[in-house]
Amino acid sequence: MILFIWYYFSLPKQLFNTPTSTVIESAEGELLGAKIAADGQWRFPKKDSISTKFKECIVQFEDAHFYSHFGFNPVSIFKALQQNIKAGRVKRGGSTITQQVIRMSRNGKKRTYFEKIKELILATRLELRYSKQEILNFYASNAPFGGNTVGIEAASWRYFGRKSHELSWSETATLAVLPNAPSLIYPGKNQQKLVVKRNRLLKKLLQKQLIDTLTYNLSITEELPKKPYPLPQIAPHLLEKITKKSKGKRVKTSVKKELQQRVNSIVKNHYNELKQNQIYNISVLILDVKTRKILTYIGNSPTDFEHQKDVDVIDKPRSTGSILKPFLYAAMLDAGEILPKTLVYDIPTTIAGYSPQNFNQKFDGAVFADEALSRSLNVPAVRMLQDFGLDRFHHYLKKLDLKDVKYNANHYGLSLILGGAESNLWDLCKSYASMSSTVNHYDETSGKYYKKEFIEPSFLANFKVNFGELSTEKTVFDAGSIYITFEAMKNVNRPNSEGNWEYFDSSKKIAWKTGTSFGFRDAWAIGMTKDYVVGVWVGNADGEGRPGLVGVAAAAPILFDTFAVLPQSKWFEKPYDELAEVEICTKSGYRASEICEEKEKQFIQVSGLKTRPCPYHFWVHLDNNEQYQVNSSCQPLSKMTHKSWFVLPPLVANYYQQKNPFYKPLPKFRKDCETENRQSMEFIYPKENTTIYLAKDFDNKKKGVVLKIVHTTPETMVFWYLDSQFIGSTQTIHELLVKPKKGKHILTIVDQYGNERTRLIEIK
């Protein structure tokens, strides 16, 4: 009874405890890469099956009676003893495949007769626990194949550069004979002995009618491999990422091998160009919008160790540049703060000491909101963020789960929209994929939203996305606002200075956005279609900036080359239930009022119905020649011409008419009407020729002075200038804090109707 209990528990539950290589496979089951095991061996994790060819070869070479014995073969053992005693040395082994599995599992044990008896007993126990197929799998996965190569899969890749199921009979026979003497014979060493062993096995296969004569004759002429091949490293950074959590395991990923290889080539070509400008690092991520699986994962370019080739940039925080602007545009649409064509100001702006500048250092006066986004204008973006509210926008970013936006809104300030915050390629692509999916699902579900739309993507093949329950409530943005945002992003002009990518098929509609961080340290380009999101980052991993490292020049060409190898996608379906067709003032982009001259019907988001009508059209009273404004004091009502006029604030109009020559400023009042043109505003403080003394605070810093005026119509916009330099604007409450330098200054105020006042002051 004791012997029976010992026998039952004699075999360990886990037969092999040796470390294995981390292996990643593509969605199709192809090898993407492998990381050597902790003990320095190329030993792949055990597979559930082995090739039929290898089964036949190994059984015929090692253990012809494998399928008939119960762990050991007494006849083979007896014959081996006879020959070894007669020769006075070990000339032949009598071990079965089962015994060899036991011996490999007891690695390091001395080869004694007592150990052989143990192996024999354990071999019978192994036969009772596992099937013949499983025993063969143990052998195939743990047999030594020369050098530091263990197991048929690792050997197949090391010696022939492909998986074992694809090997010829000759190649399989070569591998089958290697475990017999791995320390003596392996490819590249003792080639003639290896050929003899291989051909002897092939001859036996012919005799057993497992191969035909033609196959045999062709097989014996095949050359042996000269040296081991390097294992594929098609997605090295993904391999490292997976190794951290699944070390020593075989992981099937969602990456498409052919697509990964093609994008690898694209990245390599662009890297060879960019490194001429000392730009060394590139990362690319491709997501499937519908499944939320990663199709391509390129963590870095094929650079060198000096330039951080091993750094995986995809999940590293980098300055966002302008890549967050579409989120602000979508948020303002979603909240009903703007319409797609609402005019937004593009004028010199200083807010609490912060003065944003457009990339071209110029101003347009006023631009449509969608144009401001498509042209990535910085000043309108900052002004829009101020109008919308920094905390409100920060709240949207937190709902998008941008993990690197770690601080509160005040920490970033208004620079948040221009790269003041950091994010990473993974989170950004995730967010844009979720927005794409929101529009897709809205159409598919007839006007509903999934509660878990903004979900984490995955690079695992077995990942099943769960969008949660359906709801009539939006998740973050409504489908109409997202669709309008994508329409604006689709209209981004593709530059024509980078190779051939400007000839990209225009029928392939893509919503895309670039970004460039301060100091030219990061270049971004992210594009999306109904089916795919492609994200590109270009820069230097160490943060060094370079001239020319801008999104449209460095990252966008890679983006469009990548889209060129993806299947073509249709454009998003218009979410009609979240849109409303209304009349829009073509000049201002607001909902048309009754006095707007030019109107057209446009689709806007439903929340935009609450926006105010056009505020820029006014009735003006003109003389018969329409040359001057008049009033009842100088012109009879019957002789006045009443006309609708498009009027922009003076500062806005000053820049606007430079780009829009058809803009007509308001005519002046006729001289004989000036007596009725009363003062519409007046200074409260300072008075004329006032000397102002600036006090100091407890930190010995000079305080500012609050300037105040009164306007007969308080809601009128008033623009302030100090020595002809714009210093701010006010509305409703006309007070402005300034910190002027010592000396005499001219203070000027201009309201939106062109009324102007000046005051001379002295600061001491």
Q: Do residues 53 and 163 make contact, with C-beta atoms less than 8 angstroms apart? A: no
pLDDT of residue 498: 40
Give the up-direction half-sphere exposure of residue 358: CA atoms within 13 A in the CB hemisphere: 19
Residues of the chain with pLDDT under 70: 1, 3-4, 6-10, 73-94, 108-114, 184, 186, 493-507, 674-680, 689, 696-702
Q: How far apart are CA 283 and CA 298, in angstroms?
A: 5
For residue 621, the 8-state DSSP code is E
Name the residue type at position 368: F
Q: How far apart are CA 262 and CA 564, in angstroms?
A: 11
> How far from 372 is each of 368, 488, 492, 611, CA to CA, in Å?
6, 9, 10, 19
383 contacts: CB under 8 Å, gap ≥ 6: 344, 345, 349
Q: Can you give the three-state secondary structure of 220-264, one letter per residue?
A: CCCCCCCCCCCCCECCHHHHHHHHHHHCCCEEEECCCHHHHHHHH
pLDDT of residue 677: 43
Q: Do residues 554 and 281 make contact, with C-beta atoms less than 8 angstroms apart? A: no
Helix and strand numbers, DSSP H then E, in the chain: 21, 28
Of the candidates 315, 378, 370, 320, the residue with the CA atom closest to the CA atom of residue 342: 370
- Please tell me the chain's helix, strand, coil percentages from 3-state DSSP, rounded to the nearest 5: 35, 20, 45
Tokens for 171, please give them.
């190649």
Is 339 in a helix, a strand, or coil?
Answer: coil
How many other C-beta atoms lie within 10 A of the C-beta of residue 247? 14
> In order of start, what are the domains of the chain with their CATH numbers?
2-219 (1.10.3810.10), 255-316+424-568 (3.40.710.10), 321-415 (3.40.710.10), 576-610 (no CATH), 617-675 (no CATH), 678-763 (2.60.40.10)
Tokens for 249, please give them.
């395991």
**Please, what is the end-to-end C-alpha distance for the chain in angstroms?**
108
CB-based burial label for 439 (10 Å; 0-12, 13-18, 19+): buried
Tokens for 444, please give them.
């598919």
pLDDT of residue 93: 56
pLDDT in tens, 692-718: 877 765 556 667 888 888 777 777 888
Give the up-direction half-sphere exposure of residue 88: CA atoms within 13 A in the CB hemisphere: 0
Q: Do residues 666 and 620 make contact, with C-beta atoms less than 8 angstroms apart? A: yes
Residue with tokens 């290896």: 194
pLDDT of residue 501: 40
Q: What are phi and psi of 496, to 5 degrees?
A: -115, 30
